[in-house]
A and B are shown apart, each in its own frame.
Chain A
C-alpha cells in the first residue's frame, strides 16, 4: 500500500512507494506483453474519469489503455467536451462529475495545483496526469521503470536531464524521484532555462552538456516547448541544437552502456537528432510501453489500497 492517498507529486513518495509501483508494474509486464488476453479484472466495476483540461493525446491514450487492461469503466472528458471552458468553475465541474459516483480522477491541467484543488472537492482518488509547470508523476514513474529495466537498479546512476527545465513538469517530477531512489542528477540547460531554485533537491546544475555527457548513464532529453518560446529565452532552434542538442557526435561520446530517454513528442533536429532518436541507446519506445504498465500499477495500488 502506498503512503499517499493521491498521486499528485513525486516528492511526497517514499523510496518504498516508488519501488512498489515499479515492482507492481513489472508484474503487469507478462500480462500485457506476453498474453493473448491482455487484461485482468482487478478494477472491475470501478469508475475512472480522465479529466483532460489540456489536450494530450499520448498521455490520455496511455491512461485509457491502462484502465481497459485493469477492467475499469472509464470516460474521458476534454477541454472541448466539458463545461470547464464555459465559465463554470473547476469546483463546480468536479462536484458535478463527482455526483455520478466516481472512484478516481485522472487529471491533466494547464494550471499548476489543479489536481490538488480537485482533491478538495471530491472523495475520489486523484492521479495527476500533468499540471502546468508543476508535476507529472506518472511520467516520472515510467521513466524510472525504463531506466531500472536497463540497469537493474537506480541507485548510484548518473542521470542528466537536459532542456527547458524552468518550464518542465517532467523535470520537476523526475529529478526528485531519481534523488529519492539514490541517483545522481545533473540539470543541463542554458541559464534562461534553469530551475529557479539552485539548491533544488540537491541536483547538480551546469550549462554545458559537453562537460558532463561522458560521465552519464542516462541522458534524458526534454522536449523544448516551442509554444513557450515567446520572450526568447533562447535565440533560435538552430543555436539550441548546436549547444544542447543530442547529436550523433555527442551520442558517440556516451558511456558504452548509457541510454537515451525522451518523454515525447520529439522535436527531431532540435533537442535530438533524428538518427540519435532511433539509435540502439534510445529507450524512447520502451518508455511508451512502460507508461501503460506503471499507470496500471499506480491505479491498482491507489484503488486497491482504498478501504
Chain B
C-alpha cells in the first residue's frame, strides 16, 4: 500500500525540516520527501493546511490489560491512542498480574499486534508484583521487548531496594521511570495539601512527599549511573532539582502530564469532581505555571498523559474513595495545540521534541524521522479542527476525563503506523 501525503507542513527537528513537503510512503517505509512528488499508484492524502510530524509517542499510559479489562483493554486503549494521534504508547506494568516477567511483556506486544492500531511498548516492573521487596525479572523482560522499568503507581519505598533496582537496570541501557512518592508523607492523601484540602476537608498529599523521593532518586542516579526519568513531575521545586541534575550532567530526564500543566488545585471545588483526583494531585497554580515554563525552555523532556481509565462506578462516588487518575490519550494533543502551540507560546519543533523525539530517546526506541528510509510512523495534524470533549468523543472504554466539557482547537486527522493508516480523517480505522 502506498500513500502520498501532499502539501503538508513537515516538521522534524532531527533532520532540520520545517517546510511544506510531499511525503511518499510505500509499505512500511518513507521512500521520498520532496517539494513535489507525483505517484500514480499511491493513495493521495491532502495535507494542505496541516502539519506532518514524526509519529507521536505517549510514554506513560495504563491499558489495564490483563486484569482490569472492564476499564480498558489493549484493543480499546489502542483505539484511543490512534484517535489521539499516537503511533506508539508505553504501558505501565501495574496490571493484574503485574508485568514483571517476560511472558507478560510478550502478551502485551502480541495482543497489540492483533489490534494493529499502535505500537505498544511495555514497561516492566522494577520489583516483583510492584511490592518494592525483590527484583523483578528485568533481564527476561528486556529480552522480550520491555522498553523501560517502573513501579509506577507507587514509589519504591525502600531506598536500599531502589538502589538495587537502579544498579541492576544500569547494565541494560534502559531507563528507570520513577513514580516519586514517600508514602509515609502522602498517607491518606487525596488532594494537594493546602487551601483546597482544608476547605474541602480532606487529607493532603504534600509536595514534599514527591520532592523528597525525587531528591533521593537523583542521588541514587549519581551513584549507580542508571538513567533516571522522573514520572509526572508536579511541583516547581521538583523541577528545580531535575534541572540541577541535568546541569551537572547526570542522565536525568522528566515528563509532565496535561493535567499538571493546564489544571491546578483551584479547579477542585465543592462539586467534588472526582475526575480531578490524581496521583500526584493537581498542585498550586504557581506549580502549573513553572511546569509550563519548563516544557517550553527544555527542562521538561516529555509530554505524557498518564492515561488512567476507570469505570464509571469507580469515579461516580465520594472523592475520598474514588480512584486516582484521568484518561488523556485523546485530549493531549488538542490541549497542547490549544494552550501552547496555537497561541504561539510553543514552536512546532518543540512540540515534536516533547511528543515524539524525546520519548523515543528515553524509551530507547529507534528514532523516527521524516526522511527516506525511516519507518513510516507519522501523525498528520489539523491545527484548526474543533474538538468538543464529551463522553461520546472518546474511543476508549472509560470516560473519566478531567477535561470533559472543554472545547479545544486542533487535533490529529491521520496516523500512519509502520505505513498502515490507523486514523483516517479523524476516524479510527
Contact = CB atoms under 8 A, between A and B. Distances in A.
Q: Residue among A112, A169, A195 with the most chain B CB within 10 A? A: A112
A40 interface: no
B270 A116 contact: yes
Contacts of A195: 198
Nearest to A200: B198
Interface stretch (A130-138, A270-278, A287-295): A130-138
Interface stretch (B153-161, B209-217, B285-293, B312-320): B312-320
Nearest to A90: B317
A195 to B, nearest CB: 5
A112 B319 contact: yes
A113 to B, nearest CB: 4
Interface string B76-91: 0000000000000000
Nearest to B318: A111
B198 A111 contact: no
Contact of B317 (A12, A91, A132): A91
Q: Residue among A89, A109, A111, A133 with the most chain B CB within 10 A? A: A111
Contacts of B199: 11, 197, 200
Given A89-B313, A196-B204, A113 B195 contact: no
Interface in A184-227: 195-197, 199-200
B198 A196 contact: yes
Interface residues of B, number: 22
Q: What is the size category of the interface that chain A forms with chain B?
A: 20 to 34
Interface string A1-17: 00000001101100000
A114 B318 contact: yes
Contacts of B201: 112, 131-135, 169, 172
Nearest to A119: B271
A109 B318 contact: yes
Interface in A256-301: none
Nearest to B196: A197
A117 interface: yes
Contact of A111 (B195, B316, B319): B319
Interface string B301-338: 00000000000010011111100000000000000000
Contact of B316 (A91, A113, A114): A91
Interface of B: 187, 193-195, 197-204, 270-272, 313, 316-321
Top 10 nearest A-B pairs (CB, nearest first) are: A134-B201, A113-B272, A111-B318, A197-B198, A133-B201, A112-B201, A197-B195, A196-B198, A111-B320, A113-B319
25 contacts: A11-B199, A89-B316, A89-B317, A90-B317, A91-B316, A111-B318, A112-B200, A112-B320, A113-B270, A113-B272, A113-B320, A114-B318, A116-B271, A116-B272, A117-B318, A132-B201, A132-B320, A134-B201, A169-B201, A172-B198, A195-B198, A196-B194, A197-B194, A197-B199, A199-B195
